[in-house]
Amino acid sequence: MKALMNKMLRVGLLSLAFSSTVAMAQSAICYNCPPEWADWGSQLKAIKAKTGITVPPDNKNSGQSLAQLVAEKNSPVADVTYLGVTFGIQAAADGVVTPFKPAAWNDIPDALKDPAGNWFTIHSGTLGLMVNVDALKGKPIPKSWADLLKPEYKGLIGYLDPASAFVGYVGAVAINQARGGSLDNFGPAIEYFKALKKNEPIVPKQTSYARVLSGEIAILLDYDFNAYRAKYKDKANVAFVIPAEGTLVVPYVMSLVNKGPNAENGKKVLDFVLSDEGQALWANAYLRPVRASAVPADVQARFLPATEYARAKTVDYGQMAKVQKMFSERYLKDVQ
């Protein structure tokens, strides 16, 4: 009886190990692939349907993802990661990602990829104000960065922590540039956030899409693609505003993790998000696909006019990455 039980236990353990191996063979871990952000939910379903690879959703932000990649450098857990471009540049410098040139590599403009393949853009977004019009309760829709400092918007504003979340840092750079600062002088942004504290902003660390839809946050510093998704997919009374003083357009990138446990699956995931099907999903989520010369006409009609987007500028993203830590430290010291 004891011998039989031992045999059954061994068989059970072997079966469990086999099941675990099969599951691993059909999965890939992506850091910072949250289903409520940029419609990653649809992208993850499509990856599963097309490749058979399961990619669990992950709600880290860029800063949290990079910190975990660094902490796990000697024993990586993730296979791929999705990051704001400055974090992608830093991840390469930290040695936590490795070169990989996906199938569509040649279609990516040179300025939007690392020459060695450490990171490459999959789509971009424009930062502005995502406004739940109903939650304003009759107050006018703000049209500028300056408007947010008005007392009438007290308790209605939210922005992601710029010392942690990439979109928060983008907001800081956009405000800083629009108010006369530069990547060598963050004084205008620091003074702005200090003044904004009088309006008691909500400052979460993770994506807050649902909190805008619920009305908990009426005005969120966020990207156009989230606002358009709220308006056209979730049928919410949401407006997107490109501030009058100007704003920033920013690429989002992906990378293959250095020595990830499921590297081959990771490569297939990266190939898919840049495939025709993957890029179409980004366009349908109101992002600017890196491989598309133009957004499809039916989607384009839902964007603000090109005259509005003319106020969205690029910056030196390499320099933006270099000064990010310095800005974060100053924000934590002077504002938070």
CATH number at residue 209: 3.40.190.10
Q: Which pLDDT does position 135 carry in this prediction?
A: 98
Tokens of 213: 């839809």
Give the integer Cα–Cα distance in Å for 227 and 36: 12
Tokens of 23: 């599951």
Distances from the Cα of 65 to the Cα of 81, 105, 165, 304, angstroms:
8, 24, 10, 32
| 207 shares a domain with 325 | yes
Of residues 286 and 273, the one with the higher pLDDT is 273
Number of domain units in the chain: 2
Tokens of 90: 């830093």
Give the integer Cα–Cα distance in Å for 75 and 211: 35
Mean pLDDT of 220-242: 95
| 135 shares a domain with 107 | no
| 324 shares a domain with 187 | yes
Residue with tokens 């840092």: 169
| 280 shares a domain with 146 | no
Q: Which pLDDT does position 314 carry in this prediction?
A: 87
Give pLDDT tens digits for 159-195.
Answer: 999 998 889 999 999 999 999 999 999 999 999 999 9
| 152 shares a domain with 229 | yes
Per the domain annotation, does 227 fall within a domain?
yes
| 119 shares a domain with 263 | yes
Per the domain annotation, does 17 fall within a domain?
no
Amino acid letter, 203: V
Distances from the Cα of 112 to the Cα of 115, 243, 279, angstroms:
9, 25, 15
247 pLDDT tier (thresholds 50, 70, 90): very high
Per the domain annotation, does 237 fall within a domain?
yes
Per the domain annotation, does 27 fall within a domain?
no
Mean pLDDT of 256-270: 98
Mean pLDDT estimate for the chain: 91
Q: Is the confidence at residue 14, as pLDDT, over 70?
A: no
Q: Quick check: 119 and 92 in contact, CB under 8 A? A: yes
CB contact set of 283 (below 8 Å; sequence gap of 6+) = 289, 292, 295, 296, 299
Per the domain annotation, does 3 fall within a domain?
no
Per the domain annotation, does 143 fall within a domain?
yes
| 132 shares a domain with 274 | no
Per the domain annotation, does 94 fall within a domain?
yes
Tokens of 143: 């049209």
Q: Which domain holds residue 78?
A: 33-124+250-300
| 155 shares a domain with 130 | yes
DSSP bridge pairs for 252: 84, 123
Q: Which pLDDT does position 19 carry in this prediction?
A: 39
Q: Is the confidence at residue 313, as pLDDT, over 60?
A: yes
| 323 shares a domain with 189 | yes
10 pLDDT tier (thresholds 50, 70, 90): low
Q: Which pLDDT does position 171 carry in this prediction?
A: 97
Mean pLDDT of 263-289: 93
Q: Quote the radius of gyration of the chain (alpha carbons, Å).
A: 21
For the whole prediction, is pTM greater than 0.85? Answer: no
| 231 shares a domain with 129 | yes
Q: Which pLDDT does position 297 carry in this prediction?
A: 79
| 62 shares a domain with 139 | no
Q: Which residues of 6-30 are buried (b: 16+ CB within 10 A; e: fewer)?
A: eeeeeeeeeeeeeeeeeeeeebbbb
Q: Quick check: 169 and 322 in contact, CB under 8 A? A: no
Among 16-25, 133-142, 149-158, 250-259, the range scoring the smallest mean pLDDT is 16-25
Per the domain annotation, does 193 fall within a domain?
yes
Q: Distance of alpha carbon 66 from its chain centroid, rounded?
A: 13
| 170 shares a domain with 261 | no
